[in-house]
Each structure stands twice: as C-alpha cells, then as structure tokens.
C-alpha cells in the first residue's frame, strides 16, 4: 500500500485538497503536504493524513478527529477538517491539520537537549496535555516525533486521542513508549504520564531508558539525567499507574525547582558509532505565555560557496520594532554587478539569538529579461527549514539589471548566498558561468 500512497502525488483529494508531496506513512496511513484556505483569504500549507476506510476502528477514528477539531489550545496541532472520500477505487478517511516544520525526533540522532532546553520545552507540552486531560481525553502518543514546531511555538500532535477506559486497538504495533498496562489494560491519563517520563529521559540522553518489561521492574534512569528531571522521570515511571504523579504535580515541581547542569555522559561502547563533535547545532526559541518556549532546529555548517562577484551586503540583527516587510537595499543600477536591489531576510530576534557560528543558505534564481526573479530554488538548504524559508522568500524579491543590447539570451541565472550569524545577515551574489556564456 505504501507504493500506492506515493503514486497519488499530484492528485486532488475530495475535490479540494491537492496532494502536493508525499511526506511519509505506512501500509495503513499516509501523510501529504496540501493547501487550505487561510483566514486572510489566501492559501497556506497544511498536512493531510489519509487511512483506508476499511481499516480497523476507522469509523471511530473519524469520529475522534471530528471531536478533536473543536479543541482549541495554542500548544495543540490544530485540526482543520476531517471526512470521507474516494480516490480511484479506494475509500479513504482523511484529516487535515496544521503543517509542522520540525519535530523533536529529528534533533535526537545528533544531540541530546541541554537542561535549559528541556526546561523550556516542557511547559508548553505540559499545558497541552493538561488541557487534553481536562477535556476528558487521553493523548496516548506522547513521544519526540509528536512534539513539533510551527513558527516559534512548540505544539503537541492531536490526531490520535482516545477516551479514558477505551481498550487499545489490537492492530496497533507495540511501542517502546507504551506503559506496562498497555497490553491488557485500558488507556488512562496515567499512560500519558508514563510516556512523558520515557520521553524526558530520551531527550536528555538520546536513549530510551532500560527496563525489563517481563519482570515489571521500574526503568533505570541514568545518572546523567540532571535534577529536577531525574526525580520527575522517577515519579512518572512507576509500574503501578496509581503511584505515578499527575501533570499538575510535574508542573509544580518544574516551577519550584532549580535546574542543575547535566553530568558528563557515560562513555559509549567501543562499537557505538562516533558522535559528530564539530557540527554546530543552534536551536530555535520563541515565547509562550511568560516563559521561553524552546524548539530546536538542527543546522549543519555548509561548505563555503565560490567567491562572489558582488560585494556582500550586511544587515544588522532584526529588532522587535521592525516592519513585517523584509528590508530592501537599493543598489546603483549602473554598476558592474548587475544587481539593482537586494532584499534582506528578516530574522526574528529569538531565532537570531540562538545562532552558533554561521548558517549558510544558497539560493539559485532565474532572472527574466526585465531583471525580475522568475523562479527561485534552494540549492543548499540544510535541515533548517526556518532559515531556508526566509532566505528563499527574500531572494524572490531581488532585482537585476535588464537585458542589455547584444545579449543573445534573456535567460540569466544567479546564485545568492545568505549567511546568518548573531551579529547580522550577509548576502553575496554570483552570476553563474552558464548565464554568462549565453550572453556573449
């Protein structure tokens, strides 16, 4: 079935939702990038998840999606719509929800979170889980892949909730995050607390805690987990659900405790793969309520691009008082560079403050006869979707000199390199050898 999902790229679901690209899935479900109408009347990116209408508990799942659509919390992924449709001969159920740029599981293969990052990440997650519990529901799938970032907000997934007392689906594969009672018992809010404890240990160590499920002994919490997280995880990971703490107790403990620095990690086995030490991994900060909300974008240092033919332009760091429009830097059109106007990316102060070293994004632009950018594509994006997005948006606003008499082709191509650092943003432009050759 997974091959069939991929073949549906480019189709339209239910006459309204274009399946722009296949984001991933399994034999039972798939997720595509799509578009929905925004509040301003335009369109915005969204994710659409589809499952076979013949799958076990499919109708119950559709009912849950429609019920969850009415939930409104800043730290929950918003569900726009859910319904039933048919594509070719396949009857499908679908849910359309906010599109998340990153999730926490993408960071963990590279590094664990610091104590400060974990302290900033937890409050929005706890607030979302408490909201779900207050509505009489159980999240049931708290794990790093379901802790996501949209803009500068941390959000929890919302498309797989259950009602307390409901029996888990037999068709669902067992998960490493499942509590001891999952095999025989009904879902409960205590199961969410267990999953939160497992997740907390994993994000601080990069590893799931070790425990003997057969012997039903509590998981081992590594000594490298700092306080208060070590004590919180211990309270969450009680085999007896009745002995686990509540979400409110975790919030109280986190609010009153001082965060200790993490201990150095224990040496790894000689057969373990070496961890990259030279890469720089900045993380993304935003604000939620009165506390800092952390989410973390991995950004690999990219090789330098070829020497630029145009002198670089530097913009100072953005401030909160800046206009929402990207700043433009006019250029003398009579100079030899061929660049008439540069548009600088506007970086939020919270994102700027987390940069370590430099972040380099390269964009290739095609220029029409009038000097406008006809198309722009990312040539070197890296894993940071935020910086890639603002660089691409800025590149689309650049202006170049019109085609001069004697040029054989109106098609020209430039490569722009945006270099982000804490002190500002630099940009350089290089006209490619291909476009120079056709103009002779």
Rounded-to-integer distance, Cα 137 and Cα 141, Å: 12
Strand, coil or helix: what is 283? Answer: coil
Residue appearing with tokens 């889980």: 129
- Please tell me the predicted confidence (pLDDT) of residue 322: 40
Binning the chain into helix, strand and coil, the percentages to the nearest 5 are 25, 25, 50
Q: Which residue has the higher pLDDT, 252 or 89?
A: 252
Residue 302: pLDDT above 60? Answer: no
Preceding omega of 228 cis (within 30 degrees of 0)? yes
CB 247 within 8 A of CB 126: yes
The mean per-residue pLDDT over the stretch 339-358 comes to: 78
pLDDT band at 147 (very low <50, low <70, confident <90, very high): very high
At residue 390, the 3 state secondary structure works out as helix
Domains 2-98 and 102-263+280-295 share a fold: no
The class (CATH top level) of 313-318+327-438 is: alpha beta
Question: According to the model, what pLDDT value does residue 175 have?
Answer: 80
Average pLDDT, the chain: 77
- Per domain, the residue ranges of the chain are 2-98, 102-263+280-295, 313-318+327-438
Q: What's the CATH superfamily of 2-98? A: Phosphorylase Kinase; domain 1 (3.30.200.20)
Assigned fold of 102-263+280-295: Transferase(Phosphotransferase); domain 1 (1.10.510)
């Amino acid at each position: 079935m997974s091959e069939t999902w991929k073949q549906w790229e480019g189709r339209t679901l239910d006459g309204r939702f274009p399946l722009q690209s296949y984001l991933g899935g399994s034999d039972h479900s798939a997720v595509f990038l799509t578009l929905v109408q925004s509040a301003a009347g335009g369109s915005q990116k969204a994710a659409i998840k589809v499952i076979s209408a013949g799958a076990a508990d499919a109708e119950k799942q559709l009912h849950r999606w429609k019920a969850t659509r009415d939930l409104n919390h800043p730290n929950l992924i918003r569900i726009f719509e859910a319904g039933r449709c048919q594509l070719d001969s396949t009857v499908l159920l679908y849910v359309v929800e906010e599109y998340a740029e990153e999730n926490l599981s993408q960071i963990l293969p590279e590094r664990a979170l610091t104590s400060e990052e974990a302290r900033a990440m937890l409050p929005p997650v706890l607030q979302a889980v408490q909201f779900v519990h207050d509505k009489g529901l159980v999240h049931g799938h708290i794990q790093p892949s379901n802790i996501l970032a949209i803009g500068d907000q941390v959000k929890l997934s919302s498309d797989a909730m259950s009602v307390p007392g409901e029996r888990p689906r037999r068709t669902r594969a067992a998960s490493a995050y499942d509590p001891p009672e999952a095999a025989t018992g009904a879902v409960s809010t205590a199961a969410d607390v267990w999953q939160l404890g497992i997740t907390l240990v994993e994000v601080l160590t990069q590893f799931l805690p070790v425990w003997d499920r057969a012997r039903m002994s509590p998981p081992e919490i590594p000594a490298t987990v700092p306080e208060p997280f070590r004590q919180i995880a211990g309270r969450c990971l009680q085999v007896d659900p009745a002995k686990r703490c509540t979400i409110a107790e975790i919030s109280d403990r986190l609010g009153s405790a001082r965060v200790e620095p993490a201990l150095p990690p224990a040496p790894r086995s000689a057969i373990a793969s070496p961890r990259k030490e030279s890469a720089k991994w900045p993380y993304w900060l935003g604000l939620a309520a009165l506390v800092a909300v952390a989410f973390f974008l991995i950004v690999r240092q990219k090789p330098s691009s070829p020497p630029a033919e145009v002198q670089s332009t530097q913009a100072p760091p953005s401030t909160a008082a800046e206009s929402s429009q990207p700043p433009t830097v006019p250029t003398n059109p009579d100079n030899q560079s061929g660049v008439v106007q540069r548009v600088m990316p506007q970086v939020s102060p919270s994102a700027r403050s987390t940069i370590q070293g430099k972040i380099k994004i390269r964009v290739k632009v095609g220029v029409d006869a009038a000097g406008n950018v006809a198309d722009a594509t990312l040539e070197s994006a890296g894993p940071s979707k935020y910086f890639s997005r603002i660089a691409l948006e800025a590149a689309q606003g650049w202006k170049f000199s019109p085609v001069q008499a004697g040029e054989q082709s109106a098609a020209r191509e430039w490569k722009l390199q945006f270099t982000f650092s804490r002190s500002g943003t630099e940009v350089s432009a290089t006209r490619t050898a291909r476009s120079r050759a056709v103009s002779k």
